[in-house]
């Protein structure tokens, strides 16, 4: 489980885990282009300055370029004093990219006092948990959208795992198994864990309470239920209303704490969440 010191630092310093988002900012380093699953709601083909959603970046960075970006931002009068977190959230899955680990190592050598965070779909989490522990990752976000493989198969088009390409229920079973096991292992290794769940009306609404229960038992700290951004294969799904979203969050608050400040940020976001951001 997370130590009280680590948990306190994350809860008070990380704007996506409860820290003051009006004072604490973050840098998302877009060093992870490759992904190991295909989500039905994912489309990374479009980018413009005003587009803000996960998986979008204006350009990819190498680990050395990412370090240069951190140096520049930390030296900036506008951002240097507010940046508390270095995060890697794509545009693919960070754990499918060795550049993720090299980037963290480089940045930590120069900026050891910052918090380090990663977002993943969880497929490779059990396989790479020891590496994450060695780089002293403070917080981890795992996106889990289903408990039942039959439901997950409606969300994920493909899973690539250990050299095999799996479709349908077969791939979904492995993904779900690794996600929940990964949450448990991450918590045991002292990371503060947040679980993201995309609310997809008509597909996974009956899964969310079960996800909340299982991740709470596995040691997750907080849950973030976010609305689907309809696109790609799931472009026909209606986006949940704010009232619907709040109803789902409130229904699960007695099981695990609910995060309500998510802005579904880009993979290259810099600055404060919901204001003062640059990319």
Q: Which residues of 159-194 are buried (b: 16+ CB within 10 A; e: fewer)?
A: bbbeeeebebeebbbbbbebbbebbbbbbebbbbbb
Architecture of domain 4-278: Alpha-Beta Barrel (3.20)
Q: Does an H or E element contain 151, and which?
A: helix 149-152
Q: Which residue has the tokens 């079973």?
A: 173
**Among 2-6, 103-107, 265-269, which stretch is predicted with the lowest mean pLDDT?**
2-6
Residue pair 191/140 in contact (Cβ under 8 Å)? The answer is yes
Quote the CA–CA distance of 189 and 129 in Å, as a whole number.
Answer: 8
Residue 243 has pLDDT above 80, yes or no: yes
Please give the model's pTM, rounded to 2 decimal places. Answer: 0.88
pLDDT score at 68: 94
Reference 176, options 155, 192, 200; nearest CA is 155
Quote the CA–CA distance of 245 and 243 in Å, as a whole number.
Answer: 5
Q: Which residue has the tokens 């949450």?
A: 183
Quote the CA–CA distance of 30 and 41 in Å, as a whole number.
Answer: 20
Residue 273 has pLDDT above 90, yes or no: no
Reference 120, options 152, 102, 153, 97; nearest CA is 97
Tens-place pLDDT, residues 185-208 = 999 999 999 999 999 999 999 999
Average pLDDT of span 196-221: 96
Tens-place pLDDT, residues 20-69 = 666 777 788 999 999 999 988 887 655 544 455 555 656 789 999 999 99
Tens-place pLDDT, residues 149-197 = 999 999 998 999 998 999 999 999 999 999 999 999 999 999 999 999 9
Residue 90 has pLDDT above 60, yes or no: yes
**Among 101-105, 132-136, 261-265, which stretch is predicted with the lowest mean pLDDT?**
261-265
Quote the CA–CA distance of 211 and 213 in Å, as a whole number.
Answer: 5
Q: Which residue has the tokens 């979008």?
A: 56
Q: Which residue has the tokens 């480089």?
A: 106
End-to-end CA distance of the chain: 34
Quote the CA–CA distance of 86 and 173 in Å, as a whole number.
Answer: 32
pLDDT score at 265: 66
Q: Which residue has the higher pLDDT, 90 or 267?
A: 90
Q: Which residues in the chain belong to E strands, given as ranges? A: 25-28, 37-39, 83-88, 115-120, 139-143, 156-161, 164-166, 192-199, 222-227, 257-258, 270-271, 277-278
């Amino acid at each position: 489980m997370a130590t009280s010191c680590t948990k306190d630092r994350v809860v008070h310093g990380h704007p996506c885990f409860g820290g003051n988002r009006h004072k604490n900012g973050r840098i998302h380093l877009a060093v992870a282009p490759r992904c190991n699953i295909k989500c039905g709601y994912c489309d990374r083909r479009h980018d413009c300055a005003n587009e803000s959603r996960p998986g979008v970046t204006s350009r990819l960075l190498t680990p050395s370029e990412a370090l240069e970006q951190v140096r520049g931002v930390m030296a900036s009068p506008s951002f240097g004093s507010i940046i508390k977190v270095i995060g890697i959230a794509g545009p693919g899955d960070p754990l499918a990219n060795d550049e993720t680990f090299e980037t963290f190592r480089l940045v930590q050598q120069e900026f050891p006092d910052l918090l380090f965070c990663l977002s993943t779909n969880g497929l490779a989490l059990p396989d790479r948990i020891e590496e994450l522990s060695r780089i002293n990752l403070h917080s981890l976000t795992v996106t889990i959208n289903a408990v039942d493989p039959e439901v997950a198969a409606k969300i994920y088009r493909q899973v690539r795992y250990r050299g095999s390409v799996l479709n349908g229920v077969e791939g979904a079973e492995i993904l779900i198994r690794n996600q929940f096991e990964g949450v448990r292992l991450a918590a045991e290794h002292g990371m503060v864990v947040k679980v993201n769940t995309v609310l997809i009306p008509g597909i996974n609404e009956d899964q969310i309470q079960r996800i909340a229960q299982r991740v709470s038992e596995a040691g997750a700290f907080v849950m973030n239920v976010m609305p689907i951004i309809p696109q790609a294969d799931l472009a026909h799904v209606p986006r949940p209303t704010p009232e619907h979203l709040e109803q789902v969050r409130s229904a699960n608050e007695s099981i695990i704490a609910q995060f309500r400040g998510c802005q579904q940020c880009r993979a290259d976001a810099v600055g404060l969440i919901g204001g003062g951001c640059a990319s």
